[in-house]
Amino acid sequence: MSISSTAIAFADDLQVGSTHDLGTYAFTEAEIIEYATKYDPLPFHIDPVRALDWPFGGLISSGIHTMSAVQRMQADNFYSTVALIAGKSIRDVSLRRPVHPGDVLHGTLTIADVTLRDGRADLTTEVVARNQSDDVVISMTMVSVIRRRPTASGWT
């Protein structure tokens, strides 16, 4: 199923196994330094010269920054199209490769499970972001709470 950017999908509309394109996100040196200076001020995130002393080959994005960028891609390209109530959990986060300035990530989200309940559902998704070389940079499992389709008598 493809979700139109103008239609809001309810939990009942989502198909287990469907994959959704999350678009891309480009990392700049300035953004990496700005984010890390505020939230994760380790030398390999904030100092391009000192970062050369680490095995990453230079400055890299904080893992939390990488997760935030992937969340932005999800918000823009998936969660804005569904009847989202709230996030519930993030688990099995794997930071597989460092993200360097100039890297462009491309994300995909696959629906792993939809557990229907009264008026809502738990939506489990598998999220993967790859860099421009098609290497997996980050993967994680997320659970969100999504509204079910309303019925004539109210919420399912």
pLDDT per residue as tens digits for the range 69-89: 999 999 999 999 999 999 999
pLDDT band at 151 (very low <50, low <70, confident <90, very high): confident
**Structural contact between residues 66 and 45, judged by C-beta atoms closer than 8 angstroms:** no
- Considering the domain boundaries, does residue 119 fall inside one? yes
- Considering the domain boundaries, does residue 78 fall inside one? yes
The whole domain housing 83 covers 11-155
Helix, strand, coil distribution of the chain in percent, nearest 5: 25, 40, 35
CATH number for the domain spanning 128: value is 3.10.129.10
Domains in the chain, number: 1
| 9 pLDDT more than 80 | yes
- Considering the domain boundaries, does residue 106 fall inside one? yes
pTM (2 decimals)?
0.89
Residues contacting 83, CB < 8 A, separation 6+: 8, 9, 10, 11, 146, 147
| pLDDT digits 0-9 by tens, 12-46 | 999 999 999 999 999 999 999 999 999 999 999 99
- Considering the domain boundaries, does residue 101 fall inside one? yes
Residues contacting 148, CB < 8 A, separation 6+: 10, 11, 12, 116, 117, 119, 120, 121, 155, 156
- Considering the domain boundaries, does residue 5 fall inside one? no
| pLDDT digits 0-9 by tens, 84-135 | 999 999 999 999 999 999 999 999 999 999 999 989 999 999 999 999 999 9
Q: Is residue 122 within a helix (H) or strand (E), and if so which, with residue range?
A: strand 120-130
Residue in the structure block whose two tokens are 């239609």: 7
Q: What pLDDT was estimated at residue 4?
A: 43
- Considering the domain boundaries, does residue 3 fall inside one? no
